[in-house]
A and B are shown apart, each in its own frame.
Chain A
């Protein structure tokens, strides 16, 4: 059974039905720890050591966040800046994240199809997520395909529940399967 760490960042969680539904669907699962970053660090003063210890203990890391201006909320970026230290996560001696799995779980107001060369956002989600992919790459991690809950502005309750179920099953699968068979990107 793999241990899974969900690093969750939403500056106004109490107003986000989408993220509440996703989080509720995976709450209280065995071996799944959720770290609500905005609740832990309302003043952006991230406890680096604690965060590194949490990373060290888990095999699968999920950055769960809404997509704001084609990127993550600022606290998650702050987290990346502070926690993925030179000499710990990358660079000489930076071996502590090696072979851990990581991916983005995103909620977006726009539907999935607007993220394409034909859609109004002109680029695909993979392209917007390149910085995360490359961050994982530099840290020698295994970057898995992203998970997206799109069109949150006008999603129905039942659709939302459906996607949350898919998310839960994905996490259970990552936790329980003998071997992770999803394709991933890793520095060779």
Chain B
């Protein structure tokens, strides 16, 4: 192969072209990557010369799956995990066990030996987290009933990977030393020490997640160097993956665990934002590698066998899923979406196959066949979904769309995003919370975040001027964004971002004074809150009351004054525009103050109002 650059260019160009085309055709991006892999793979353009090269890339990019699980973990606070226990345990466990059982029976029926059958059945019971979550996300169905059930199943499968990897060595008829790349220093120890060390490693991950990562990120954030934060995030994920690899556990599960523990951390959204592109790229490469490993020679040699195996596996998996969905009272449309969506075989299966191959449970031929079936099922999955959506759903949809979905509030995002949790923002946040409205709070002062967290507030790190961060804070689904930060520059950036990316989000802004308010008004923002206005008027009200005015009268006058001041703002903002640049800010301020005062003198507040006032009547009757 040529230089590193040439190789990268080939991969990237293939990916961009194929993904663009599939997206244009309204298909999932996964399909694009798979095609790109096939295209540059050993059977078409031969940029990747053989499957083992493809597998090397796959192993290298499996790290994308690890990152994905870390990110999924971040989304799942322990208490939400608890809320999903019914989905994970009942739906998920029954899927894994039933599917494994059915596939096991099937395999035995085809005359395969029991240990190979069990290894195959367990591997193929898993569905592709990457494909399912990605396509649910693309179709915006993560919060739907079937979306939540799918997630529960996938989570259970991710957990099931541990026992599966633990069971596989027991199936090896010829006990063998693991080959070089799976060797770990534990292999030399007796098995009870190994078990102990495995639990020890999990304990270390939990302890690190609880006590070490937080302070580390805190320190890093204080330097205000973004690349250092990215580096720290990568360190956490690679570190845990490495630790897991040493003790022979699934790195994905270790990072998932770390993710769940960090889900309560203030850096949750920042971590998500920074790791997302890495995950995306690695996953893309991973899918390409899957495409490149599809052994077309094997399929070509016996197409009927490979294709019928693939379709058979998918059909039985879908059947089991459909049964579960039926039992869980999904309607036909939801159920088909659920069953077909999860019918493919998982990317984890590649890991288990190669592991089983190293353990000499599988022969080279079996492994190749299984890999081909798995890769094909992954490639078919988006196609099938598309087919059913276009053909079946549109027909079923008419009959069943009317039924309203009653979704559990498991992943419901907050309706309010609050930027800045200083004196101003915290008062807003407390008031909302006192009335049962939780907001997603972002603040960029690490010390303050730490203090507030100790007091039980959920504050995340960030200042809201990054689109991706706002996105992961839920800006797509939120109704209101409150900026309680007093910098106008900051507010202007927020406004621009929201207008461009989140046009449905209503923006409420704090402004320091009249001049800041003008600048924001010129951007077309209506909800502007000058920080001093209400307090100073209230002070004036108290002063007048202490001077002997009747409280209710002063209260009404204050209301009128405030309204007048807000209206004057609307008028004077135009006046300001004429003289831009020419007059110094100080001079302008004086002019505007004069205009305001003049207005107040000519507008006689109390005379304008004759409620509960009989002077006029008395005059008339004289």
Residues of A bordering B, CB below 8 Å: 43, 45, 48, 81-82, 85-87, 91-92
Contacts and interface: CB of A to CB of B under 8 A. Distances in A.
Given A81-B611, A85-B610, A45 B616 contact: no
A116 to B, nearest CB: 35
A91 B559 contact: no
A76 B391 CA distance: 58
A91 B556 contact: no
B617 interface: yes
Contact of B620 (A48, A81, A85, A91): A91
B189 interface: no
Contacts of A43: 559
Contact of A45 (B556, B610, B612, B617): B556
Given A43-B559, A45-B556, A45-B559, A86 B611 contact: no
Interface residues of B, number: 9
B612 A87 contact: no
Interface in B592-622: 610-612, 616-617, 620
Contacts of A85: 610-611
B620 A92 contact: yes
Contacts of A82: 611
Nearest to B558: A45
A86 B617 CA distance: 8
A87 to B, nearest CB: 7
7 contacts: A45-B559, A81-B612, A85-B610, A85-B611, A86-B616, A86-B617, A91-B617
Contacts of B560: 45
A76 B611 CA distance: 14
A87 B556 CA distance: 22
Contact of A87 (B559, B611, B616): B616
Contacts of B610: 85-86
Interface string B12-51: 0000000000000000000000000000000000000000
Contacts, number: 17
A31 to B, nearest CB: 29
Contacts of B616: 86-87
A84 to B, nearest CB: 10
B307 to A, nearest CB: 58
A33 B587 CA distance: 48
Interface in B529-560: 556, 559-560
Contacts of A45: 556, 559-560
A45 B556 CA distance: 7
A86 B559 CA distance: 23
Contacts of B556: 45
Contacts of B559: 43, 45
The 8 closest A-B pairs by CB, nearest first: A45-B559, A82-B611, A86-B617, A86-B616, A81-B611, A45-B556, A92-B620, A43-B559
A91 B618 CA distance: 12
Nearest to A85: B610
A45 B559 CA distance: 7
A136 to B, nearest CB: 19
B618 to A, nearest CB: 11
A92 to B, nearest CB: 6
Chain B CB within 10 Å — which of A81, A86, A92 has the most? A86
Contacts of A86: 610, 616-617
B409 to A, nearest CB: 20
Nearest to A47: B563
A139 to B, nearest CB: 15
Nearest to A49: B608
B165 to A, nearest CB: 55
A43 B552 CA distance: 11
A55 to B, nearest CB: 16
Contacts of A92: 620
A43 B611 CA distance: 16
Nearest to B562: A45
Interface in B558-573: 559-560
Chain A CB within 10 Å — which of B611, B612, B617 has the most? B611
A183 to B, nearest CB: 32
A122 B559 CA distance: 42
Contacts of A87: 616
A48 B563 CA distance: 14
Contacts of B612: 81
Contacts of A81: 611-612
Nearest to A44: B556
Nearest to B610: A85
A81 B612 CA distance: 7
Contacts of B620: 91-92
A172 B610 CA distance: 37
A48 B611 CA distance: 10
A177 B617 CA distance: 39
A87 B614 CA distance: 12
